[in-house]
């Protein structure tokens, strides 16, 4: 650890504390970096500041109440979390979701992917040193989508709009028209961010060849979502282990070549374009009317004993729910497999050997949600 400098001065590895309150940690997260010169030689992440025992609380809540807790763990992709939770319960109960509800679910989930990726673009721009420019652009776009969610669900953040079996209530009358309007703005927004960031020389210099992860290591570390695809693994649950009605849509899966921070950005950018395309297809096929909950829906949700592992492709990767039931109206055990948690566990591997200044970029490129990490 201690090296003799040629002029007789001692050089020691220096630990630097980052967080828990730090603008670049995207939440309450602390890491202790040990640096030698400018290079990072060790990283110790400390998590758990936001741990609220959601899994324990969900064991005391019945299946309908649990939806709200799914929201609160993944607060940037709430619809993905709600969808994963509902799919798990529906599978155990053997409920078929009506057509119209399926389409509305997909439209909202993909819009949520857009808003989440906009959030990433904005925050990542700040991390890379662009200050507020990309942030203001991205947040303007995110706000349009947020407005649609608010109109539909009545809430800006914790929607709790999906229900086991379908949806809580019918969407607003002008829903399709509103989504079309927002998509038009969104497409322009994606182009704006593309113009602003993709070929930006400073941005490229800060992103390329940083935090690279090979496909083998990405699989071994259990990465998922854009991080896994950026490493060159052609894998997307929406296509490869399809759930809901995803097989009805055609879309491309962007895959990176180098697995570095820049690839992760490019993968997300392309994913946004694909999401727009999925929403357009879904709007075209959306049945104009029909039930949004199954006709024979029990009032009190009870599952037979059994277990199921349900997973959806959230904007951050595989959001899974391992649901164990002993019968009755509450889960016996509910484990949330959060993509943020699994991706963050590879932070040390990605950061060691990189420059200190790049550690922020690597953390930013993971696009973690700390509530989802700690649950």
Distances (CA, A) of 207 to 193, 258, 259, 286, 351: 16, 11, 11, 40, 13
* 38 belongs to the binding site for another protein (CB under 8 A): no
The structure tokens 């002008």 sit at 174
169-228 binders of another protein (CB under 8 A): 169-170, 217, 219-222, 224
Percent helix, strand and coil across the chain, each rounded to 5? 50, 15, 35
* 245 belongs to the binding site for another protein (CB under 8 A): no
In the complex, minimum distance from the CB of residue 221 to another protein, in angstroms, rounded to a whole number: 5
Q: Which one of 48, 129, 290, 353 is in contact with another protein (CB under 8 A)?
A: 48
62-121 binders of another protein (CB under 8 A): 62, 64-65, 87, 91-92
User: Residues 344-363 vs another protein: string with x where CB under 8 A?
Assistant: xxx--x--------------
- Using the minimum distance from each CB to another protein, give the nearer residue, 20 or 242: 242
The number of residues in the chain equals 375
CA distance 103 to 285: 8
CA dihedral 90, 93, 98, 104 (to 10 degrees): -20
Contact 146, 156 (CB under 8 A): yes
In the complex, minimum distance from the CB of residue 271 to another protein, in angstroms, rounded to a whole number: 19
Contact 317, 294 (CB under 8 A): no
In the complex, minimum distance from the CB of residue 162 to another protein, in angstroms, rounded to a whole number: 12
CB atoms within 10 A of CB 300: 9
State phi, psi for 317 to the nearest 5 degrees. 135, -150
3-state secondary structure of 18: strand
* 311 belongs to the binding site for another protein (CB under 8 A): yes
Binding region for another protein (CB under 8 A) out of 142-150, 198-206, 322-330, 356-364: 322-330
- Interaction site with another protein (CB under 8 A): 47-48, 51, 53, 55-57, 60-62, 64-65, 87, 91-92, 163, 166, 168-170, 217, 219-222, 224, 233, 235, 240-243, 292-293, 295-300, 302, 304-311, 318, 320, 322, 324, 326-330, 332-333, 335, 337, 341-342, 344-346, 349, 374-375
């Amino acid at each position: 650890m201690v090296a003799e400098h040629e002029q007789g001065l001692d050089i020691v590895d220096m630990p630097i504390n980052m967080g828990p309150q730090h603008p670049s940690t995207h939440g309450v997260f602390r890491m202790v970096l040990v640096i030698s010169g400018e290079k990072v030689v060790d990283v110790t992440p400390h998590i758990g500041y936001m741990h609220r025992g959601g899994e324990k609380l969900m064991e005391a809540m019945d299946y309908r109440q649990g939806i709200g807790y799914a929201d609160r763990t993944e607060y940037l992709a709430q619809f993905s979390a709600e969808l994963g939770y509902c799919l798990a319960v529906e599978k155990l109960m053997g409920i078929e979701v009506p057509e119209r509800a399926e389409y509305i679910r997909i439209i909202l989930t993909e819009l949520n992917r857009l808003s989440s990726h906009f959030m990433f673009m904005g925050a990542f721009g700040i991390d890379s040193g662009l200050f507020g420019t990309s942030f203001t652009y991205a947040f303007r776009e995110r706000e349009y989508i947020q407005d649609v969610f608010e109109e539909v669900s009545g809430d800006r953040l914790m929607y709790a709009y999906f229900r086991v079996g379908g949806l809580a209530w019918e969407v607003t009358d002008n829903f399709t028209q509103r989504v079309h309007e927002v998509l038009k703005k969104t497409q322009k927004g994606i182009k704006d961010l593309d113009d602003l960031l993709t070929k930006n020389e400073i941005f490229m210099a800060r992103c390329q060849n940083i935090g690279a992860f090979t496909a083998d290591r990405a699989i071994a570390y259990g990465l998922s979502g854009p991080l896994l695809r950026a490493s060159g693994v052609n894998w997307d649950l929406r296509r490869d282990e399809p759930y809901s009605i995803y097989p009805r849509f055609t879309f491309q899966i962007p895959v990176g070549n180098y697995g570095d921070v820049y690839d992760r950005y490019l993968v997300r950018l392309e994913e946004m374009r694909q999401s727009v395309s999925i929403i357009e297809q879904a709007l075209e096929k959306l049945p104009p009317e029909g039930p949004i909950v199954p006709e024979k829906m029990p009032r009190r949700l009870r599952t037979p004993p059994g277990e199921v592992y349900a997973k959806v492709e959230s904007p951050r990767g595989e959001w899974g729910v391992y649901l164990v039931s002993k019968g009755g109206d509450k889960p016996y055990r509910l484990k949330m497999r959060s993509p943020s948690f699994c991706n963050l566990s590879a932070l040390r591997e990605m950061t060691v050997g990189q420059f200190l200044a790049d550690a922020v970029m690597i953390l930013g490129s993971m696009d973690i949600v700390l509530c989802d990490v700690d649950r």
